[in-house]
C-alpha cells in the first residue's frame, strides 16, 4: 500500500508542471455579459469570446482571462464569470453518441448494407492524421455528378456532439425508409447527389471526450506558435476572412487561424466542394440555441441579390415550421466572419444554412443535453432535410411554390 502511495505521489509530481504550464493559457471562463442588441453583441464577439446563447439583454459566452479583461476595458458589463473546470463524467445514457471509431464503423456498415446507394471515402486528413469521412448518397452513384447536388456538414465544433449525431441518424433512417419502399424518399435519393461530411473536426471530437469526461472543447487540435491549441474552423473559411467577430489571438475560442484555409480540415471541405460544382444547397449543423441562420454573418447587410435573399428567408421560415427554431440572418446575433455559409454563398452562390440545434440554452444542457434528446431532435429535423433535397434542383422554385413576398 505504501509503495502504491509513493508511486501515485511520484506520478502526480511528474504530472504537475505539465498541467500548470497548460492551464496558464487554456483556462476557459463561462461569462454572462450585458448586451442589449446586435451591435453590443458584435462588440462582445470582437474580443474573441465564443458567444453561446443570447437573451434579450445579455449573452453567455466562453473565453479566456485576457478576453475577460478586454471586455471590461471596452466598458462591457460582465455580470458573472467563473472558470470552467467541470469534469463531467460521460453519463451512461451518452454512450449512445457515436465517437470517431463508432462513426467510422457506422458509415462502413451503411455502405455495406446499401452498396447501390452509399459510398464512403476520406476527403483528407486532419492535423492529427485522422480521416475526414464523406458519405455520398444517390440512387445513381455512377452518374451522380449529373444530378442536382446538396451537401450536409456537421461537427465543425468539437463539443457539439449532437450536431454529428442528428444528421447521421437522419441519414440512417432515410436509407432505411428507402429500403422499405418509401416512395418520396426513393424519388429524392434517386434524383439527387447527396454529400454528407458528418465530422469536419474529428480530432476535436475525440479530444472533447478523452478520458471519459467532457472538455468543453470547440476548436481543432492544431498546436499554435504560442503553445496554445486550436483554430476555430468556423472562422477559417476564406470569404471576408478576418473582417470581424473572429479573433487574431491563438488562445481565443474564435481564433481564425494565421491565414484563410490554413487548416487541413477546412482545406478538405474546400477541395471537396470545388470538385462538385453541381452542389446548389448547403446545410451545416451546429449546436445550440434552436436557430436557422443564413448569410451574411460578416455584415449587418443582407445578401445583395434580392432573389437570393428571398430564397434564404422563405426556406428558413418554412423549415422553422417543422423544427420550431427561429429563422434569422446570422449577423442578427452578432457579426462573425470566416464561417462556412458566408464562403459557400459568397464564393459559389449556394443557398446556405446553419442549424443551431437543441437545446435552447445553457440551462437546458447547453452542449451536453444528454442522449435523451436525440430522437426528438432527429425527428423534427428530418422534414427540413427532405425539403432541402426537394428543392436542390432549383431552390428558386420556393418563390413560386410558397410566395411569402
Ligand atoms: Zn458550432
Does the structure show a pLDDT above 60 at 21? no
CA 340 to ligand 1 center in whole angstroms = 11
The DSSP 8-state label assigned to residue 144 in this structure reads G
Q: What predicted TM-score, i.e. pTM, was given to this entire model?
A: 0.85
Residue with the bigger pLDDT between 88 and 339: it is: 339
Asked whether 328 and 289 are in contact (CB, 8 A), the reply is no
CA 108 to ligand 1 center in whole angstroms = 26
CA 139 to ligand 1 center in whole angstroms = 31
Task: Report the distance separating Cα 289 and Cα 327, nearest Å.
Answer: 11
Instruction: Please name which of 264, 234, 240 lies closest in space to residue 347, comparing C-alpha atoms.
Output: 240
CA 182 to ligand 1 center in whole angstroms = 33
Residue with cell 434528446: 373
Q: What pLDDT is stored for residue 93 in this prediction?
A: 58
296 preceded by a cis bond (ω within 30 of 0)? yes
The C-alpha cell that represents 6 in the structure block? 509513493
Instruction: Tell me the pLDDT of the chain averaged across its residues.
Output: 90
Does the structure show a pLDDT above 80 at 301? yes
Asked whether 133 and 104 are in contact (CB, 8 A), the reply is yes
Does the structure show a pLDDT above 90 at 7? no
- 102 as an active site residue: the answer is no
CA 199 to ligand 1 center in whole angstroms = 12
Catalytic residue among 253, 347, 356, 383: 356
If one counts every other C-beta atom within 10 angstroms of the C-beta of residue 175, the result is 19
The C-alpha cell that represents 398 in the structure block? 420556393
> In 3-state terms, what secondary structure has residue 87?
coil
Q: Give the containing element (helix H, strand E) for 126.
A: none
| Lowest-pLDDT choice from 22-36, 213-227, 240-254 | 22-36
Does the structure show a pLDDT above 50 at 29? yes
Domains of the chain, with CATH numbers?
Answer: 22-83 (3.30.70.80), 92-401 (3.40.630.10)
Q: What is the DSSP string of 308-331?
A: HHHHHHHHHHHHHHHH-PEEEEGG
Average pLDDT over residues 199-209: 95
Q: For 216-238, write each residue's pLDDT tens digit.
A: 999 999 999 999 999 999 999 99
Does the structure show a pLDDT above 70 at 5? no
CA 12 to ligand 1 center in whole angstroms = 35
Q: For 62-91, write each residue's pLDDT tens digit.
A: 898 899 999 999 999 998 888 775 443 445
Does the structure show a pLDDT above 90 at 328? yes
Q: For 348-357, write each residue's pLDDT tens digit.
A: 999 999 999 9
Amino acid at each position: 500500500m505504501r509503495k502504491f502511495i509513493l508511486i501515485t505521489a511520484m506520478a502526480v509530481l511528474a504530472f504537475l508542471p505539465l498541467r500548470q504550464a497548460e492551464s496558464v493559457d487554456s483556462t476557459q471562463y463561462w461569462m454572462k455579459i450585458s448586451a442589449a442588441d446586435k451591435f453590443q453583441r458584435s462588440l462582445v464577439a470582437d474580443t474573441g469570446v465564443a458567444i453561446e446563447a443570447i437573451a434579450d439583454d445579455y449573452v453567455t459566452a466562453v473565453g479566456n482571462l485576457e478576453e475577460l479583461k478586454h471586455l471590461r476595458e471596452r466598458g462591457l458589463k460582465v455580470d458573472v464569470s467563473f472558470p470552467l473546470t467541470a469534469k463531467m463524467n460521460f453519463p451512461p445514457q451518452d454512450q449512445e453518441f457515436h465517437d470517431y471509431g463508432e462513426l467510422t464503423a457506422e458509415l462502413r456498415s451503411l455502405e455495406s448494407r446499401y452498396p447501390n446507394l452509399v459510398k464512403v471515402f476520406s476527403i483528407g486528413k486532419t492535423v492529427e492524421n485522422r480521416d475526414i469521412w464523406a458519405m455520398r448518397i444517390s440512387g445513381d452513384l455512377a452518374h451522380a455528378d449529373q444530378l442536382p447536388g446538396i451537401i450536409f456538414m456537421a461537427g465543425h465544433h468539437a463539443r457539439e456532439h449532437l450536431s454529428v449525431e442528428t444528421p447521421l441518424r437522419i441519414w440512417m433512417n432515410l436509407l432505411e425508409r428507402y429500403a422499405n419502399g418509401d416512395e418520396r424518399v426513393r424519388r429524392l435519393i434517386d434524383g439527387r447527389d447527396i454529400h454528407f461530411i458528418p465530422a469536419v473536426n474529428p480530432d476535436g471530437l475525440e479530444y472533447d471526450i478523452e478520458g471519459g469526461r467532457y472538455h468543453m472543447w470547440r476548436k481543432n487540435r492544431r498546436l499554435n506558435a504560442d503553445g496554445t491549441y486550436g483554430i476555430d474552423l468556423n472562422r477559417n473559411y476564406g470569404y471576408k476572412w478576418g473582417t470581424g467577430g473572429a479573433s487574431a489571438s491563438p488562445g481565443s475560442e474564435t481564433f481564425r487561424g494565421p491565414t484563410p484555409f490554413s487548416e487541413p480540415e477546412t482545406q478538405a471541405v474546400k477541395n471537396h466542394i470545388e470538385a462538385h460544382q453541381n452542389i446548389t444547397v448547403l446545410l451545416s449543423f451546429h449546436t445550440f440555441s434552436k436557430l436557422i441562420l443564413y448569410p451574411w454573418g460578416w455584415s449587418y447587410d443582407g445578401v445583395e441579390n434580392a432573389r437570393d435573399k428571398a430564397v434564404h428567408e422563405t426556406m428558413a421560415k418554412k423549415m422553422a415550421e417543422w423544427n420550431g427554431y427561429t429563422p434569422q440572418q446570422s449577423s442578427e446575433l452578432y457579426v462573425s466572419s470566416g464561417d462556412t455559409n458566408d464562403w459557400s454563398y459568397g464564393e459559389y452562390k449556394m443557398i446556405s444554412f446553419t442549424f443551431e440545434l437543441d437545446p435552447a440554452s445553457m440551462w437546458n444542457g447547453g452542449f451536453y443535453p444528454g442522449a435523451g434528446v436525440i430522437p426528438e431532435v432527429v425527428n423534427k429535423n428530418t422534414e427540413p432535410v427532405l425539403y432541402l433535397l426537394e428543392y436542390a434542383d432549383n431552390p428558386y422554385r420556393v418563390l413560386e411554390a410558397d410566395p411569402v413576398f
